[in-house]
C-alpha cells in the first residue's frame, strides 16, 4: 500500500514542474535550475502556506521567474569531469570537505511530527517547517483524508481501524473547536480605533491556532524545506537509515533517490558495505545496545509519571562570568589567558560590569549579537514542557539537545484560554482519546505508538548551550509574537542564569528579553507585515 497522497497536476503543469523539480508525484523532491534568491523566497513562503511547494511555485512564483531562467542542464562532458574530480579527491583520498561544496534545496512533504524532528536534527543545515501556528488543520485533502500519517504496519494490523477512527475524531474535535475559539477571542479582544481589520483577524486566528494545537497528534503531517551541503545530507540519510521508526527509514530511501538526481557523487558512500552501511550498522547497534543497557540498569528507577512543566538549571560553571570576561579581553591583550584570568579574578564588580558594557556596546535590537567571548561558559537545562513547545525549541541548532521518548506518561496542561472559552471538556476528552489509543498501540507498536500522542502532552528533554546561544534563544523566543508556552520556558531560563547561577552580568546583557504578557501575541507582527506589504505595493 502506497501511504502518500499524490497531488494532481495538469499535463502542462507537470511539464513546467519537471524543469525545476526532480519529480512531480512524490513527497520528496529537490529543486533544480532555479536562482538561489527564488529558492530562498519560495522556502520562506512555504513555511506560512498550506500549499505544497510545487503548487505554491505554480500559483505564486512562475510569473515572476525571468524568461531566461529555463532549464539548462550541464553538458555531459562537464558533468563527467566534475564527477571524476570528486571521485579522485573524495573517494580515493577521503577529503570530506569536498562534500561541503555542493548544496541542494530539498522539500520534504507529508512528514509526521516525529519525522520532522529527525530531519531537523543536523546542526549544519537550514530548515523551514510548516507551522501549526499559521496553518489550519481543520480541512481534509482532496482525497477526503485528514492530514496525518497512516502508518502501513498499524493499518494492516487489527488496530488499524481504531487508529484511523480515533485520529479522525481528534481532528474532528479540532475542526469543531476552531470556529468557536475564534468567536470567543473576537468577542474578548474586539478591534478598536483605527486598528486594521485584516491584521486583527489574522492575530485572532493565530491565537486560536496556538490555543488548540495541543489537540493535534504527533502523526500530524508537516512540510519541511531543507538546504544543506552534500556532507550534511550524507549524514542525514545514514542517521535516518539507522533510526528505529519505519517511517524514517522509508523516507531515507526516498530522500537518497532524489539527492542522487542532483548531487550523486556526494552520496556515493552511503550504500557501500565498508563505508555507509558499516556506519549505519554502527549507529543502529549503539542505539540498541544503549536501549538494552538502560532498561537493565534503570529498571524500576524513575518511572515516568504525570508532571507539571518545569525548567531546571542542571549545571553551570561557577566561574563562567570570569571566563567570559577573560575571553572578552583576550583579543586585545598581550598576555596569556592564564594571566588574564588572574587579573579578572581581582576585579571589582563595577570593573567587571564596565568590561561587559564596553564589549556589548550599543545594542539597539536583539540582532546585534556580542562577540564569541560569550561562548566561554555554558548552561545545561532540563525541561518538561508540552511537545508543541519542544518542537519549536528543538530547531535551534547551535546547542546540544536530547529528548526522551514521547509518551502520555507526563500528563498535559489545558491552556487557560481554552478553559475561559468554555471548551475544556471537549479539549480534555480529545486528549484522553489520545492517551487510550497510545496505550493500546504500545505493546505491538512501541515506536509508532507516539503517533497517537497529542501535542499537549509533556515531554522531558535537556538543552545545553553556551551563553551566546542562550542570549539568542532567550531573546528570540521571549518576543511578543512567541507562543506563550515557550515564552515561559525561556523567561525562566533567563531568571535561573541571573539568580541561581549568579551570572548577573550575563543575564543583564540580554537586553531584549520580554517578560510582558500580551493578549494577542501576533497583533503587532501582523500590523508590521501589513505595513511592509502596503509599502511594497506603493513602490
* Contact present, 507 and 324 (Cβ < 8 Å): no
By C-alpha distance, which of 436, 392, 385 is closest to 412? 385
b vs e for 292-315, b when ≥16 Cβ sit within 10 Å of the residue's Cβ? eeeeeeeeeeeeeeeeebebebee
Structural domains of the chain sorted by starting position, each given as residue range(s) with its CATH number in brackets: 11-132+220-294 (3.30.1360), 152-219+414-455 (no CATH), 311-403+459-527 (3.30.1360.170)
DSSP result, 341-403: HHHHHT--HHHHHHHHHHHH----STT----GGGGG-EEEEEEEEEHHHHHHHHT--SSEEEE
- Scanning the structure block, which residue is given the C-alpha cell 531573546? 475
* β-bridge mates for residue 226, sequence order: 106, 127
0.75 exceeded by pTM? yes
Please give the chain's pLDDT, 539 residues, in tens. 789 999 999 999 999 999 999 999 999 999 988 866 577 678 877 877 889 999 999 998 887 665 554 444 333 443 454 455 555 555 555 556 666 666 889 999 999 999 999 999 988 899 989 887 788 999 999 999 999 999 999 999 999 999 999 999 999 999 999 999 999 999 999 988 777 888 888 889 999 999 999 999 999 999 999 999 888 999 999 999 999 999 999 999 999 999 988 878 778 888 888 888 998 999 999 999 999 999 889 887 665 566 788 999 999 999 999 999 999 999 999 999 999 999 999 999 999 999 999 999 999 999 998 999 999 999 999 999 999 999 999 988 889 999 999 999 999 999 999 999 999 999 999 999 999 999 999 999 999 999 999 999 999 999 999 999 999 999 999 999 889 999 999 999 999 999 999 999 999 999 999 999 888 876 776 666 656 556 555 55
* Contact present, 159 and 440 (Cβ < 8 Å): yes
Amino acid at each position: 500500500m502506497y501511504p502518500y497522497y499524490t497531488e494532481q497536476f495538469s499535463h502542462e503543469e507537470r511539464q513546467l514542474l519537471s524543469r525545476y523539480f526532480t519529480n512531480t508525484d512524490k513527497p520528496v523532491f529537490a529543486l533544480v535550475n532555479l536562482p538561489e534568491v527564488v529558492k530562498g523566497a519560495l522556502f520562506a513562503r512555504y513555511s506560512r502556506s498550506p500549499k505544497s511547494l510545487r503548487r505554491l511555485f505554480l500559483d505564486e512564483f512562475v510569473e515572476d521567474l525571468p524568461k531566461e531562467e529555463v532549464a539548462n542542464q550541464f553538458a555531459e562532458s562537464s558533468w563527467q569531469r566534475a564527477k571524476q574530480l570528486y571521485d579522485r579527491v573524495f573517494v580515493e583520498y577521503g577529503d570530506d570537505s569536498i562534500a561541503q561544496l555542493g548544496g541542494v534545496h530539498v522539500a520534504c512533504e507529508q512528514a509526521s511530527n516525529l519525522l520532522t524532528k529527525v530531519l531537523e536534527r543536523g546542526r549544519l543545515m537550514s530548515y523551514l517547517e510548516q507551522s501549526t501556528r499559521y496553518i489550519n488543520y481543520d480541512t481534509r485533502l482532496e482525497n477526503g483524508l485528514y492530514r496525518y500519517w497512516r502508518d502501513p504496519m498499524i493499518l494492516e494490523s487489527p488496530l488499524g481501524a481504531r487508529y484511523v477512527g480515533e485520529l479522525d475524531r481528534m481532528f474532528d474535535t479540532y475542526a469543531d473547536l476552531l470556529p468557536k475559539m475564534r468567536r470567543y477571542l473576537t468577542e474578548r479582544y474586539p478591534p478598536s480605533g483605527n486598528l486594521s481589520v485584516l491584521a486583527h483577524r489574522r492575530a485572532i486566528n493565530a491565537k486560536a491556532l496556538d490555543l488548540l494545537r495541543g489537540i493535534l497528534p504527533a502523526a500530524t503531517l508537516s512540510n519541511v524545506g531543507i538546504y544543506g551541503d552534500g556532507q550534511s545530507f550524507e549524514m542525514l540519510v545514514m542517521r535516518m537509515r539507522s533510526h528505529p521508526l519505519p517511517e524514517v527509514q522509508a523516507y531515507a530511501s526516498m530522500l537518497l533517490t532524489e539527492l542522487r538526481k542532483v548531487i550523486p557523487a556526494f552520496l556515493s558512500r552511503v550504500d557501500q558495505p565498508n563505508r555507509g552501511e558499516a556506519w549505519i550498522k554502527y549507529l543502529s547497534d549503539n542505539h540498541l545496545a544503549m536501549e538494552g543497557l538502560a532498561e537493565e540498569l534503570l529498571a524500576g528507577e524513575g518511572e515516568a509519571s504525570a508532571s507539571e512543566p518545569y525548567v531546571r538549571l542542571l549545571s553551570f560553571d561557577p566561574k563562567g562570568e570570569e571566563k567570559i570576561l577573560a575571553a572578552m579581553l583576550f583579543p586585545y591583550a598581550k598576555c596569556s589567558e592564564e594571566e588574564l584570568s588572574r587579573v579578572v579574578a581581582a576585579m571589582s564588580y563595577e570593573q567587571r560590569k564596565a568590561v561587559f558594557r564596553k564589549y556589548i556596546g550599543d545594542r539597539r535590537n536583539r540582532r546585534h549579537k556580542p562577540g564569541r567571548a560569550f561562548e566561554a561558559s555554558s548552561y545545561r537545562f532540563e525541561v518538561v514542557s508540552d511537545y508543541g513547545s519542544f518542537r519549536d525549541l528543538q530547531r535551534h541548532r547551535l546547542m546540544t539537545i536530547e529528548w526522551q521518548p514521547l509518551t502520555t506518561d507526563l500528563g498535559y496542561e489545558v491552556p487557560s484560554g481554552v478553559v475561559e472559552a468554555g471548551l475544556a471538556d471537549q479539549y480534555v476528552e480529545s486528549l484522553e482519546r489520545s492517551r487510550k489509543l497510545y496505550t493500546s498501540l504500545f505493546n505491538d507498536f512501541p515506536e509508532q505508538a507516539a503517533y497517537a500522542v497529542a501535542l499537549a502532552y509533556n515531554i522531558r528533554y535537556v538543552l545545553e548551550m553556551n551563553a551566546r546561544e542562550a542570549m539568542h534563544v532567550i531573546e528570540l523566543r521571549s518576543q511578543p509574537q512567541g507562543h506563550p508556552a515557550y515564552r515561559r520556558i525561556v523567561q525562566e531560563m533567563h531568571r535561573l542564569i541571573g539568580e541561581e547561577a549568579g551570572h548577573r552580568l550575563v543575564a543583564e546583557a540580554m537586553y531584549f528579553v520580554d517578560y510582558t504578557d500580551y493578549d494577542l501575541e501576533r497583533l503587532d507582527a501582523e500590523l508590521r507585515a501589513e505595513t511592509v506589504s502596503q509599502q511594497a505595493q506603493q513602490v
